[in-house]
Amino acid sequence: MLEGSCHCGSARWQLDELPESATACNCTACRRYGVLWAYGYEGENVKVEGQTTAYVRGDSLSFNFCPKCGGVTHWRALRPNADGRRRIAVNLRMTAPDPIAHVRIDHFDGLERWEDLPSDGKCIEDLWF
């Protein structure tokens, strides 16, 4: 299990397992937030607690942040997918560095091509330390 929280601790998330990878996206929102995403499904392997404020981007998802300290904790799909499950991603930068240091970083081009980019073999500790 992995846990994270905003800076003031008011908004928290829990991910049931250590992710195999984290996504660094260069879209207009993610690059400004500086986030690293780990994915799951609401009510299944991801739990979010505490008050957050949502910035709704388009008609597909909301970026959620703490109204006290401003930390971006997660994004949430606005609608369930075809099988009725709702996607959610938590910001791994909200957890302690040590448990996720060796998690591989996947790069996603959300700005121009909307596709995964080739792996450069780096992990989170290569960015943080």
Report pLDDT digits (tens) over 75-122: 999 999 999 999 999 999 999 999 999 999 999 998 888 888 888 999
Number of domains in the chain: 1
List the domain range (segments joined by +) for residue 73: 2-128
Which of 28, 32, 27, 14 is CA-nearest to residue 92? Answer: 14
67-85 tens-digit pLDDT: 999 999 999 999 999 999 9
Closest CA to 45 of 75, 86, 77: 86
Query: What are φ and ψ of residue 128, in 5° steps?
Result: -90, -30
The tens digit of pLDDT for each residue in 23-61 reads: 999 999 999 999 999 999 999 999 999 999 999 988 999
CA 107 → CA 68, 76, 80, distances in Å? 30, 20, 25
Quote the longest CA-to-CA distance of the chain: 40
User: CATH no. for residue 18?
Assistant: 2.170.150.70
Contact 44, 79 (CB under 8 A): no
- Report in angstroms the alpha-carbon separations of 61 from 27, 37, 81, 104: 13, 14, 12, 25
Q: Model-level pTM?
A: 0.92
> pLDDT band at 127, cuts 50/70/90?
confident
